[in-house]
Amino acid sequence: MKNNKKWISLGIFLAAVAVLSAVDQITKIMAEAALKNKNSIPIIEDVFELYYLENTGTAWGILGGGRVFFIILTVIIFAVLVFIIYKMPLKKKYLWMRITVILLGAGAAGNFIDRLFLGYVRDFLYFELINFPVFNIADCYVTVGLILFIIMILFIYKESDFDFIKLNRKAKNG
């Protein structure tokens, strides 16, 4: 019965990641249709605008052209997230950790889809005021997920709360 709950938990994780990734993809499709080869659209003059960009790297275009590297890295990260969700105890205490892992998974999946099928990531949100790199909804998921994770590590969970991640290997004697 406990194992069935773990599989249900994993199914909920995958469904949530799929829904959030779909939202990301829909916004990217809409942004591409409205903005590609067109002028940016100011939302708040000189502060925030919609600006279409095809990014082959990470933030600020770092590691541009590293498509295969990012695809492999994303598959590894997603596998780790699936492992964590499967191993995480089914307790209310871990609800925010589950939400965080879902956000990280959705962000990874959203940009993975772009890299896999297009060879670049579609970015379209731009804070002109601080000249922040152009980003997308998947990037928001990752950023919020990482902020939540840092808060949880610093203020909520103790090191022992993460013992479930350790592989259950029995020590061999002699």
Catalytic positions, written as ranges: 123, 139
Give dist(CA 35, CA 50) in Å, integer.
8
Type and span of the H or E element at 70? helix 67-87
Strand partners, 55: 121
Give dist(CA 72, CA 129) in Å, integer.
34
List all residues 6 or more positions away from 5 whose beta carbon is below 8 Å from its beta carbon. 90
Give dist(CA 53, CA 37) in Å, integer.
9
